[in-house]
Amino acid sequence: MKKYFGPSTLVAAAFIGPGTLTTCTMAGVQTGYMLLWAMLFSIAATMILQEMSARLGFITRAGLGEAINQQFTKGISRYLVFFLVIGAILIGNAAYEAGNISGGVLGLHLMVGELKILPLLLGGISFLFLYFGRYKLIERVLIFLVILMSICFLATAVIVQPDLNAILKGFRPSGINDHFLLIMGLIGTTVVPYNLFLHASTISKKWDTNATLKDIRIENAVAIILGGLISMLIIITAAASQGQVEAVTSAKDLATQLEPLFGTAAKWGMGLGLLAAGLSSTLTAPIAAAYAAQGLFGWEKDEKDIKFRAVWMLILGIGILVAMTGAKPVLIIKFAQITNAILLPFVALYLLYISNSKKLLGTHTNTILINTLGIIVIGITILLSIKTFNKIFNFL
């Protein structure tokens, strides 16, 4: 069982958060099956990059932050790398955290109604788990709930009997110009930059030296493919609800796709799923940022260290404040996914560079195939990021 479920499962659970639920639902409602190809690309990109991160953590027994610290020891390159990586961590994780909290709040809206105090309540619960270190126990329960919700989407997909020919056509790239930001959102909700730091840091703790790289690659592939299939099922069930929902602007719109399975109780099923996905992801994003900072600055490896706690408190605090601004949660979540997609090339480039360091990895550096695939993935994300900036500037 350990060969198939481990640190990569945590990564999959982290990206199957409210952002995935919301963005994939928007994709299905607005475009039907058209953007399934974008999700397939996102799954492949995640597998390639997370394999590099996992291999780095396993061989060096350290995280990506430590690797960067060791690789860039002095000079202007060190300051430039630190500035860009820290910026990516703070901006990306804070945006993602706001989306996580907003997603959990969306779930609570379905169950208890719209109350202004809900972001603070959810953030407070997350703070207690993180501060007292009890988040691991609740995380297991929440991952179970997310898996349960995933089974619900599979059952719903079977019930609605989607058009298989239309699904197959959805894997042919199309709609790039018309649905560009939505494509960026799908990539940003799956290929999450902070997961690259989280994976490398946790794998050295959960895999002993008796394991092999083959074991790690198998576990990585199983977890990421499983998470990707769940995302695709959300798109498929949402596509089947076209005509019932014209746009995704509220939690009720999200719940509509589960009505074939739950009927009038669909809001409770979606509410619980959003809450579980939001809270589990709310715990991982701040911790990933803290691990990254810990490695970059060479802090003591102690989760109770004041500097470690200060980082995750900052990320959590920003997330709570943004969620309490009154902005629509769906818009916050979409912004978070696009932000992550823009920041991804920076982190991925560092990972690719370090994964070719013989000083760190010895004979376990990237193969020609992995380098080629990595360059293709990064090249595509860079082009998409540039196009996103152009759209933003044209809008301004």
Q: Domain locations in the chain? A: 7-395
Residue 2, pLDDT > 80, answer no
Q: What is the pLDDT of residue 312?
A: 92
Q: What is the pLDDT of residue 95?
A: 77
Q: What is the pTM of this model?
A: 0.82
Whole-number percent of the chain with pLDDT over 90 = 16
Give the per-residue SS3 of the chain: CCCCCCHHHHHHHHHCCHHHHHHHHHHHHHHCCCCHHHHHHHHHHHHHHHHHHHHHHHHHCCCHHHHHHHHCCCCHHHHHHHHHHHHHHHHHHHHHHHHHHHHHHHHHHHHHCCCCCHHHHHHHHHHHHHHCCCHHHHHHHHHHHHHHHHHHHHHHHHHHCCCHHHHHHCCCCCCCCCCHHHHHHHHHHHCCHHHHHHHHHHHHHHCCCCCCHHHHHHHHHHHHHHHHHHHHHHHHHHHHCECCECCCCCHHHHHHHHHHHHHHHHHHHHHHHHHHHHHHHHHHHHHHHHHHHHHHHCCCCCCCCHHHHHHHHHHHHHHHHHHCCCCCHHHHHHHHHHHHHHHHHHHHHHHHHHCCCHHHHHHHCCCHHHHHHHHHHHHHHHHHHHHHHHHHHHHC
Rounded to the nearest integer, the mean pLDDT of the chain is 80
Residue 37, pLDDT > 90, answer yes
At 209, the pLDDT band (50, 70, 90 cuts) reads low
pLDDT digits (tens, 9 = 90+) for 308-341: 999 999 999 988 988 888 677 667 766 766 776 7
Fold of 7-395: Amino acid/polyamine transporter I (1.20.1740)
Q: Are 38 and 232 in contact (CB under 8 A)?
A: no
Q: What is the pLDDT of residue 39?
A: 94
pLDDT digits (tens, 9 = 90+) for 236-283: 988 887 666 666 666 677 777 777 777 878 788 778 878 877 887 788
